[in-house]
Amino acid sequence: MKNETALTETKTALDRLRVAEAMHAGVISVTSDTPLVEVAVIMSEQRIHCIVVTNSPEDPAAAGNLWGIVSDLDLAAAAEGDLTGRTAGGTAATPLVFVAPDDTLTRAAQLMTEHSSAHLIVVDPLAGEPVGVISTLDVARVMAEQTA
């Protein structure tokens, strides 16, 4: 019975809480021609699990310029081969999946499941610009907090 109560509380929290409450604010991006080794350095220095890849150096923060994501898992897979000449664009997973800051965590989890994506780009619907990233780890953290 205790486990059922914990699951119900977790589900309620995911329905109640908004993406903005669990996401990591800000987006770190590189252009598609950035060497993959440089992407790895940025991710390591910033201690992040993914970096957004844009297709335009003019205004990389514009949502229309977002092209893909390179995750830590993508880097691990790429490390098996020769990284010479590898770029962010050649490694990035596409298409991107977007979510709004006001969407529920249930919606975010649903999108992650439907698209087999561990990271969603959070885009402000009014400005049309990315404001953050939410990951499966962020959803797991909220779930763990509810059962603690």
98/16 Cα distance (integer angstroms): 19
Q: Is residue 37 part of a domain?
A: yes
Q: Would you place residue 12 in the very low, low, confident or very high pLDDT band (cuts 50, 70, 90)?
A: confident
Strand partners, 10: none
What b/e string do you get for 10-22 counting C-beta neighbours within 10 Å, with b at 16 or more?
A: beebbeebebbeb
Q: Is residue 91 part of a domain?
A: yes
Q: Is residue 4 part of a domain?
A: no
51/89 Cα distance (integer angstroms): 11
Radius of gyration for the alpha carbons in the chain, expressed in angstroms and rounded: 16
Q: Is residue 3 part of a domain?
A: no
Q: Provide the domain count of the chain.
A: 1
Q: Is residue 105 part of a domain?
A: yes
- Tell me the mean pLDDT in the region 99-124: 95
Instruction: Check whether 68 has a pLDDT greater than 60.
Output: yes
Domain that holds residue 99: 17-147
Q: Is residue 49 part of a domain?
A: yes
Instruction: Check whether 83 has a pLDDT greater than 60.
Output: yes
Report the percentage of the chain scoring pLDDT > 70.
Answer: 86
- Tell me the mean pLDDT in the region 1-13: 59
Kindly report the CATH number assigned to the domain that includes residue 83. 3.10.580.10
